[in-house]
């Protein structure tokens, strides 16, 4: 009987010892997961979507900013646009509206686009951006978009709607449709980056906006 008790006791101790490494390993794995840096998660710029109504094309989106007072959104938006060389044409804080215009030289370094080594050549884009502030959110509208493409005979002027229509027009060759679509893709990449940086400037969560220095 005494021998049996000793055997049972030894079996219990062995079971405890076998379970300790497994539990410790689980605790270690949990801690490693909890301490994974946030920057390991890939982030993407805010997406933009072209809106076509009648013969008019523009971009518009509403962004939530619940924790930021409207007056602070207003001020930070003005500061950001000034740093980006946008001209303020209208601003009325009580109305919660800001209007900016700009002329930007884009794709200065022509990049590869598509499967046939086509490249989007440098071009100029003129457009306005309207910011409407209301109830803990803001809405941006990018409109009045006009492109100027350098040619041998001077700049060729086309609106966003012109380019959008030709990108999907059956009257254009497939190659030209691809060229026009590449222009839209290039401009949307620029706008996506712009509105992402605007949101970051309004939220001011990045280190660059730290007021302590």
What string of H, E and C letters represents the secondary structure of 162-209?
Answer: HHHHHHCCCCCCHHHHHHHHHHHHHHHHHHHHHHHHHHHHHHCCCHHH
Q: Are residues 88 and 9 in the same domain?
A: no
Instruction: Name the strand (E) or helix (H) holding 46.
Output: none
Q: Is 45 part of a structural domain of the chain?
A: no
Q: Is 10 part of a structural domain of the chain?
A: yes
CA–CA distance, 199 with 39 (Å, rounded to integer): 18
Specify the pLDDT at position 101.
98
CA diameter of the chain: 109
Q: Are residues 91 and 188 in the same domain?
A: yes
Domain holding 173, by residue range, is 50-209
Q: Are residues 13 and 58 in the same domain?
A: no
Specify the pLDDT at position 107.
83
Q: Is 109 part of a structural domain of the chain?
A: yes
Specify the pLDDT at position 206.
82
CA–CA distance, 6 with 170 (Å, rounded to integer): 90
Specify the pLDDT at position 174.
87
Q: Are residues 75 and 150 in the same domain?
A: yes
Q: Are residues 92 and 28 in the same domain?
A: no
Question: What CATH code is carried by the domain that includes residue 121?
Answer: 3.30.530.80
Q: Is 73 part of a structural domain of the chain?
A: yes
- Total count of domains within the chain: 2
Q: Are residues 15 and 59 in the same domain?
A: no
Low-confidence ranges of the chain (pLDDT < 70): 1-45, 109-119
- Put simply, whether the predicted model's pTM sits higher than 0.75 gets the answer no
Q: Are residues 97 and 28 in the same domain?
A: no
Instruction: Name the strand (E) or helix (H) holding 136.
Output: none
Q: Are residues 75 and 107 in the same domain?
A: yes
Q: Are residues 180 and 108 in the same domain?
A: yes
Show the CA angle centred on residue 50, arms to residues 77 and 96, nearest 5°: 30
Specify the pLDDT at position 132.
97
Q: Are residues 34 and 86 in the same domain?
A: no
Specify the pLDDT at position 13.
43
Specify the pLDDT at position 36.
36
């Amino acid at each position: 009987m005494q021998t049996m008790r000793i055997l049972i006791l030894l079996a219990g101790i062995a079971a405890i010892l076998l379970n300790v490494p497994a539990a410790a390993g689980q605790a270690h794995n949990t801690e490693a997961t909890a301490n994974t840096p946030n920057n390991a998660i890939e982030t993407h710029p805010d997406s933009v979507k072209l809106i076509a109504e009648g013969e008019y094309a523009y971009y518009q989106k509403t962004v939530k900013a619940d924790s930021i007072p409207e007056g602070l959104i207003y001020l930070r938006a003005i500061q950001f646009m000034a740093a980006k060389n946008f001209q303020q044409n209208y601003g009325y804080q009580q109305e919660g509206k800001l209007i900016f215009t700009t002329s930007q030289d884009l794709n200065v370094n022509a990049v590869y686009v598509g499967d046939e080594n086509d490249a989007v050549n440098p071009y100029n884009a003129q457009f306005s951006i309207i910011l409407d502030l209301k109830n803990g959110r803001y809405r941006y509208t990018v409109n009045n978009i006009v492109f100027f493409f350098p040619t041998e005979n001077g700049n060729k002027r086309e609106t966003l709607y012109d380019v959008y229509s030709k990108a999907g027009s059956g009257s254009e060759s497939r190659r030209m449709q691809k060229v026009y679509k590449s222009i839209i893709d290039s401009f949307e990449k620029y706008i996506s980056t712009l509105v992402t940086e605007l949101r970051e400037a309004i939220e001011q969560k990045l280190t660059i906006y730290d007021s302590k220095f």
